[in-house]
Structure 1
């Protein structure tokens, strides 16, 4: 009972704890990368400053704002309006998927499966996104990261018949684009919703669908991983292990080695390496962007906007940009963007803004399992993307709007009735 009571007290702080954990993971990844690459550990300083100010600011703001936020009464959106919202979301989600794939005129995943060249596969994946008009790219981002998760979680929460049609559309859409993270954005909130509400079998089923979709996208993206999955299947079914051609080190000879190496690369090496690349490029104050790295601020102060992730990608990987024609960006969290513009002062101010944001999230989510789960992926994304990206193309702004609408929509309707009368 004491454990359950303690967990109940921590639940309103779930998003804060999740983000704090993601920062600790990034710190551990940076330490591992520094040790394995013989790189100075100086590049973790902005992260340490940000984490310290963020945690301290959140604890202080929780004491000041906590009771006031908890005392705000909820006025939920009526169920008939929730059902209309679900129909609207399903229509928008399906329409965007059809529009996207019809515009391309083919399924990128099928094209990628026919190729054994890593660079050609990367080009196919990028063209599946960058060949769209700008508004179509935003529509796709919002559909996969905002509309889709909201639709699935609300449909599960209200036991709507639209749940399985939406899952089928979402799986087909995300697998067709073969972007590894897309099935996670779409289905992880639903997995956690079922887990939070103690529906273990449904949570397991959704987790298997999500992992299966990621596996398909993963093998479509890399011929080496594709071959390694084949070795794993042969090993599991008792067939002789198929040898990979070419010289391999001993630790890459076991089935699944490429999969393990790919997971390590994506979850540990890449985030830490990108953090180091940002830091060492902007360690010298003379090289910092002084506000020109923020689109709105650049307009206000009259300087040319610098999209730092793309700028750094071109600096560190010029051969991929010039010779291969690939478009890339070194994305990282808001704290390192603040460091690249204003140094440690910017990091501290940004940390205080994040502390205020996470304090207000308690109001937006109101300790509700569906709403907490919907904000989970955006919060996890904050360690690798600036908050402006997460709010906009990451779909979080839409998720927060719907969260407040579901909690306070009844009050809005009550205010409109006298006016209409």
Structure 2
């Protein structure tokens, strides 16, 4: 099978390739095509993969190209992990928002809207090319904001585009671990949108073990989300929120922490990865060793401002291993080999959540087989969660409408309607600020 990775010069590509190296079964991926607009980044990542594959006799062949159409032709799977505007764009997203006193995180609030506005047109172009050049391919989308981008692409690819995220997987794994359960044997009742979901139950052998966790303050406060949100708030919710909900529940504290930080997350990653790619320009540099050191630093500092605000301390070592690459591999194997499995994915709603229409992309457990991902029936969300999900989905729809029409007024509306943007005037200034720093938003008139 041929796998095309869009954003193939990206720093996290070796995680995906590492998962492929562990797959030796029939029907596995045998050819990986890396596509990126930057030849130097492609060269650097190709070197890392070559060292990574040393000693693996059946390692998938790797090729690289800057020609998108060439990369897509004949693909069985397309993995999309692009970053429109690069990490410099992410840093701009953060700074413009923080100057207005609102959150600039790349998927949540003002920063997520700005990122979506410049990413959706590019993602739509990719979807149209896939439909024309590789109509039988399955697209696995990891490009953020993942739910929004998946929905944009689904308008051209239908159910053949599926969004993935490692946050729900990591959350379920942590809950299972603290309860002494095997994550592979647990059913995780998770529902919401990407980066906006809640675990409402964790069933092992038919029994929901979440009430036991919520009833034990010591157990509840012993893992990442318990430290981040606090035991009392989790017990009030009666559920365990995705870590990104910290930006909603503790927004004032999060904004203050980001404003006071020496560097925003985007600026930190921009400088860190610039050092990595600069070091890779030295042909004698140990590519794999340098990549591993950089990755460890990146993972250890994830959501550092939020953890500092909550007094959560350092991340547990078990939480530093990522996980989205494992979701991607499990998804490809299930479809390619009809190895039926259950995964939490971003897919079209169909009739899963009655408060949203059938085409709205949501994040829920899905049964996956050769025909794709099928969302399972879930219980309705409680009122507070329903309101938040509906509000954020309405914002996503305004982003899609603005990207489709080029309407500046619709873009202002998207910002103004978001729960974390507190003024229409702020929304107007955000659009002005973002269009000044992002050439990719010149289409807004």
Shorter chain as denominator, the TM-score bin is: under 0.3
**TM value normalised by structure 2:** 0.27
Higher-Rg structure is: 1
More helix by share: 1
Relative CO higher for 1 or 2, CA cutoff 8 Å, sep ≥ 6?
Answer: 1
More strand by share: 2
